[in-house]
Amino acid sequence: MTSIKSHRIVTFFVLIFSICYAAVGYCQPQQDPFMNYNRHVYKLNHHLDKAVLKPVAKVYQGVLPNFMRTGIANFFNNINMVPTIINDLLQAHPYQATSDTWRLLVNSTIGVGGFIDVGSKIGLKPNSEDFGLTLAAWGYKKSAFVMLPFLGPSTVRDTIALPFNFFLFSVWTYIEPYLLRVGLIGVDVVNQRAQLLRFDNVFQSAALDPYTFERNAFLQRRNYLIKRNETLVDPYLNENTPVNNANEEDPYISAQPVQTRLPQDEEDPYVAPEPEAKHHENTYQDLKQNIHEDKPTHEIKPLRYDVQ
């Protein structure tokens, strides 16, 4: 019990320190007003990743086959649907909350605890929300960038949201015993790092300044999510399906009744007229005379009827 309280106290003070340090430059117009601090933290995180996390992630990727890593990633994504649903409701998106709830229920049951992503196969697309995006939906959109120790890139707004995401909305605090919770969090961190291994070469070759590259990529991603949530619509409607207004005519309802009977003096073009047969110029007498004269068979013309 004492270890749990001490862990939470240390985590709380780390977050408070990051918030207070970030708040110093919050009122400045630029998005990175405390770049010097961020760069030092970035170097610390980079060295820790190179020495510890990256080698562990490589072993994890080499030992476990691809389908097991995919199942583990699906399991943790399914767990994270709980805070996503809560933030959907806080952002006043009931349709998205309904879709995410169905996805959680389907994957937790038919998907064997979330290891199989059945929801995506039936049209329930994955979604991720957090309290930082909820604060943005409530009006706190612009926020300064801050690099957190061990946690990576963030903003002042997202740093404030971290305690809410972990202690209030997530299921992590309800997992007992404590060692099991720590073990699951560690596997989640290693699994996420293993998924990023394939991008390491691209990241190193494309970025002249890795810190700037990571900062800009993070801010662009967060800004995209904020804009997406502003235009979020009913997920059950097709985006290309127009919504009819009240004054628009329904194309499936005819404006005038269909005429089912034609006037008596008009002929129905879909009813064929009765055939009127008439004899060709060859009559029975002609045929009888040809036979009497012993004409060859191929010269005898058969009777014909023309249908008009």
> DSSP for 86-147?
HHHHHTT-HHHHHHHHHHHHHHHHTTTTTTS-HHHHTT-------HHHHHHHTT-----EEE
| pLDDT value of position 207 | 64
167 falls within a domain? yes
| pLDDT value of position 144 | 95
287 falls within a domain? no
Q: pLDDT (tens digit, 9 = 90+) per residue, 92-105?
A: 999 999 999 999 99
* Residue 9, pLDDT above cutoff 50: no
Mean pLDDT lowest among 69-83, 135-149, 217-231, 256-270: 256-270
7 falls within a domain? yes
256 falls within a domain? no
* Residue 125, pLDDT above cutoff 50: yes
Reported pTM: 0.67
Q: pLDDT (tens digit, 9 = 90+) per residue, 23-39?
A: 433 434 467 998 999 99
| pLDDT value of position 289 | 54
* Residue 169, pLDDT above cutoff 80: yes
* Residue 20, pLDDT above cutoff 80: no
Closest CA to 78 of 122, 116, 121, 123: 116
How many whole angstroms separate alpha carbon 205 and alpha carbon 266?
Answer: 80
280 falls within a domain? no
| pLDDT value of position 236 | 54
Which carries the bigger pLDDT value, residue 250 or residue 227? 227
Task: Please report, as a single letter, which amino acid is at residue 229.
Answer: N
Provide the domain count of the chain: 1
Question: Confidence class of residue 240 from pLDDT cuts 50, 70 and 90?
Answer: low
269 falls within a domain? no
* Residue 256, pLDDT above cutoff 80: no
| pLDDT value of position 18 | 44
12 falls within a domain? yes
Q: Which domain holds residue 212?
A: 2-230
Question: Confidence class of residue 200 from pLDDT cuts 50, 70 and 90?
Answer: confident
300 falls within a domain? no
